[in-house]
Chain A
């Protein structure tokens, strides 16, 4: 073994060790602490205390929390669907546009990333507020009724979620649509398929991996984006993320907060696993696994 090769091995081992240490310190340990916390009892002085108990999980079965979970899934689902309905045509136009336009359209998606999403949530608030941009515009157009109460409604939360998360839908869709071979569409037309049939039989199946990826990238964060709901939804706990936050910071019930976040993490993990499984199947079907 040459000296250079030995050095190389040393470097490799050192870097792997460093990365492993990092993961253990900042991912594995905190997660284990959350798991541990969720099985402890509540204590106002020291946050958590003995004895071990599964009381936190038992509380989760309370219909009140099932309601929060259900409502939160509903809001996230609506936001995901809206992102898909807006994002798919946008991604399609972007992927099919001539080069300079394509880059401009992509840039318009990416630029908001450079601004903190909390600040963007406040921007949505300015638009939707009772004396905000939307109502002002309506009055300028001749509307004379009561100003619309948009802020602090589920609608405002959905609008905020869509605005903040739309790029996560567009980018994976753009990636699959851009790869879609235009000749397949010509072949379908040549064989007698109408535009709708071409979309249904060829485009949709071939872009499905991007649709699923985009939906997960929107749906999963949407469940936890507590600050969007805080800024736009008012005081109610609309999202699971709000529930977790308020248990830790307001109710000071760390075991319950930990239990909620663990259940949420597990649910997300399950959905990711389902996606990975379906993506692998799709890849096998397409033969570029």
Chain B
């Protein structure tokens, strides 16, 4: 990533004495599609409103293109917002809505017309110039809002849960369109959503917020595959949590499952009486509690007749629920120690019609090294 467009330095914000943003540092790069993700109340919309200028921070500074804009009102910032409910002007036509920002910037009349037409072409709304917002469908209103913001060629486009009012299919379609639009125009997008699937699908980088702090920031893949905390693991996708205790460190050259490995350090973790040898980047002391996080699609379920690799540590369990999902079969398995886990198995050419009847005894394990080890967090 090249130059930084927006830079938040030590931003803090309180409402009615309650801290919603704690000492936030964030750099947004030119041309980046950045998603602010988090549960409701995590402060993601506040961050967006701070960048837009609708809120002012209690502490810290906000730089756009290296210039401190903390004290500038929204009308003097080179950012534009696509609002959650679009906030189209109801008394103006589509063309008047889109032209509004250009008129405010005193762009010559002839240019305005051309740029409005171009913007409406970009969002595929040509021909609807004279309609009023209430005569448009939700998806069309969304596009007008997008055109109204983009026509000003902002340095940064802010999108506040902009897709959440659309139905599932239209949302999927708009996700794709937004992404390709962003690639084509090269404008920096800051997108706010509580939908983790949307965040993973669209972003170059996901910033996951929790209670006004950044829980993790990174590319979608890193967020999903290497969650930095239990909160991240649970918020992004489903997570099975195995609680274990460190028995000690293994020698660096010890192989897991007889496979040679690249010399990574391994920890001997005992989970519910079963010993696992797991890759670990840090050294753990014996007796330390650790969590192994495994995604449902990384769990392996072996039915009674199936053979599993020898010496593979595993847990015996029983199927308590099965859900056919079309692409996958999702099973809830109660392990013999009482823990419940979820396994997602794909139907593929090797096993096009496997099934787990409820009550079936199974053995559960996971693909070695696909787990994430996390320390046990102190209870809040």
Contact = CB atoms under 8 A, between A and B. Distances in A.
A98 to B, nearest CB: 11
B89 to A, nearest CB: 6
A186 B54 contact: yes
Contacts of B226: none
Contacts of B81: 186-187, 190
Interface stretch (B32-40, B100-108, B256-264, B349-357): B100-108
A194 to B, nearest CB: 6
A155 B242 CA distance: 85
Contacts, number: 71
Interface stretch (A72-80, A133-141, A201-209, A216-224): A201-209
B52 A190 contact: yes
B80 A191 contact: yes
B135 interface: yes
Contacts of B53: 189-190
A197 interface: yes
Interface string B74-88: 111001110101011
Interface in A154-186: 181, 183-184, 186
A287 interface: yes
A188 interface: yes
A192 B90 contact: no
A7 to B, nearest CB: 43
B132 A287 contact: yes
A286 interface: yes
A46 interface: no
A192, A193, A286, most chain B CB atoms within 10 A = A192
Contact of A189 (B74, B133, B148): B74
Interface residues of A, number: 21
A270 B57 CA distance: 54
Nearest to B99: A191
B91 A286 contact: yes
B152 A206 contact: no
B73 A189 contact: yes
A187 B89 contact: yes
Contact of A193 (B75, B80, B91, B134): B75
A285 interface: yes
Given A190-B74, A192-B105, A287 B85 contact: no
A194 B132 CA distance: 24
A207 B257 CA distance: 74
A59 B80 CA distance: 65
Given A201-B100, A287-B132, A184 B152 contact: no
19 contacts: A183-B83, A183-B85, A184-B87, A184-B89, A186-B52, A186-B81, A187-B81, A187-B89, A188-B89, A189-B74, A190-B52, A190-B53, A190-B54, A191-B75, A192-B101, A194-B75, A194-B104, A206-B90, A287-B134
Interface of A: 181, 183-184, 186-194, 197, 201-202, 205-206, 285-288
